[in-house]
Structure 1
Amino acid sequence: MTGSVEQGTSQTHGNTHILHFLVRLPRPVETVWPALATADGLASWLTPADVLEPRLGGAVTLRGLGAGQVTAWDVERVAEYTVEGGGRVRFLLERGGDTGSALRLTHEFQGDREPEQDWRAGFERLIHALADTP
Structure 2
Amino acid sequence: MTGSIEQGISQTHGHTHILHFLVRLPRPMEAVWPWLSTPERLTSWCTPVDTLEPHLGGAVALRDLGSGRITAWDVDRVAEYTVEGGRIRFHLERDGDDGAALRFTHEFQGEAETERRWRARFERLLEVLEGGA
Q: 1:100 deviation in Å?
A: 0.3
Distance in 2 (CA, whole Å) between partners of 1:43 and 1:60 is 13
Query: What TM-score, normalized by structure 1, do the two folds share?
Result: 0.95
| Aligned counterparts of 1:78 and 1:68: Cα–Cα separation in 2 | 17
Which runs of no fewer than 5 residues in structure 1 stay unpaired? none
Question: Any gaps of 5 or more consecutive residues in structure 2?
Answer: none
Q: Secondary structure at the match of 2:132?
A: coil
Rounded to whole Å, the distance in 2 between the matches of 1:129 and 1:114 is: 22
Query: How many pairs were matched up?
Result: 133
Q: Deviation digits for residues 55-94 of structure 1, max 9, x if unmatched?
A: 0000000011111010000000000001114x11000000
Distance, in Å, in 2 between the alignment partners of 1:7 and 1:74 is: 24
Question: 1:40 is paired with a residue of what secondary structure?
Answer: helix
1:1-134 matches, within 5 Å, as 1-85=1-85, 87-133=86-132
Give the secondary structure class of the aligned counterpart of 1:12.
strand
The Cα shift of 1:19 comes to: 0.6
Residues in 2 aligned to 1:37 and 1:106: alpha-carbon distance in whole angstroms: 15
Cα distance in 2 for residues equivalent to 1:37 and 1:133: 18
Look up the SS of the partner of 1:8 in the other structure.
strand
Moved over 4 A (4+): none
Query: 1:70 is aligned with what amino acid?
Result: I
Give the direction of change, closer, same or farther, for the CA distance of 1:114–1:46 in structure 2 (3 Å limit). Answer: closer
SS at match of 2:122: helix
RMSD: 1.1
Residue 127 of structure 1: SS of its match in structure 2?
A: helix
Amino acid at match of 1:13: H
Task: Tell me: CA distance 1:35–1:62, structure 2 relative to 1, closer, same or farther (3 Å).
Answer: same
Q: Distance in 2 between matches of 1:128 and 1:107?
A: 21
Percent identical pairs in the alignment equals 70
| TM-score under structure 2 length normalisation | 0.96
Change (3 A) 1:96 1:62: same
Shift of 1:112: 2.7
